[in-house]
Structure 1
Amino acid sequence: MKTIKFQLEPLSCPSCIKKIEGKLGKMSGVEEVKVMFNSSKVKATFDQDKVTSDELKSTIDKLGYPVI
């Protein structure tokens, strides 16, 4: 398992948390996802054999939350 943090553009609403955590949490190989609203960071623990950090980043970007 690997843990990675992504810095996002500032989040505008708390509902963003559920959207990001829900989508990433359903991805194969993702063990845990935590979105920190105040710091606009996403922390994810995942199995590198099932999903890559680039795939996680791409999914966050596609949801409309640019990763810095």
Structure 2
Amino acid sequence: MSKAVITLEPLACPSCLKKIESAVRELNGIDHNNVKGVFNASKIRVAFDENMLTVEDIEKAIENLGYPVIKSKVKIA
């Protein structure tokens, strides 16, 4: 399992963060129990199986919702 911290543009409301968390949890290869959004920092922390998807796949799912990704930092376990 790899872990990523994805930094987004500032979010307008907590419901935006919930929407992003839900979309990320639906991706195959995501550890559903390890998706955590931090509203004040506009970040999403996620654990994922790097054999099933990449951080770019996660970024694309977020951007498809209309939330631009600023940067991502991945730590491979």
Bin for the TM-score computed over the shorter chain: over 0.9
1:8 offset after TM fit, Å? 0.5
2:50 is the counterpart of 1:48? yes
Structure 2: tracts of 5 or more residues without a match: 71-77
Q: Percent identity?
A: 44
TM-score (norm. length: structure 1): 0.95
Structure 1: tracts of 5 or more residues without a match: none
State the partner residue of 1:2.
2
1:26 offset after TM fit, Å? 1.0
Q: How many pairs align?
A: 68
Q: Distance in 2 between matches of 1:16 and 1:51?
A: 23
1:60 offset after TM fit, Å? 0.7
2:52 is the counterpart of 1:58? no
Name the structure with the higher strand share. 2
Equivalence map 1:12-51=2 (5 Å): 12-31=12-31, 32-51=34-53
RMSD over aligned CA atoms reads 0.7
Moved over 6 A (4+): none
TM-score (norm. length: structure 2): 0.84
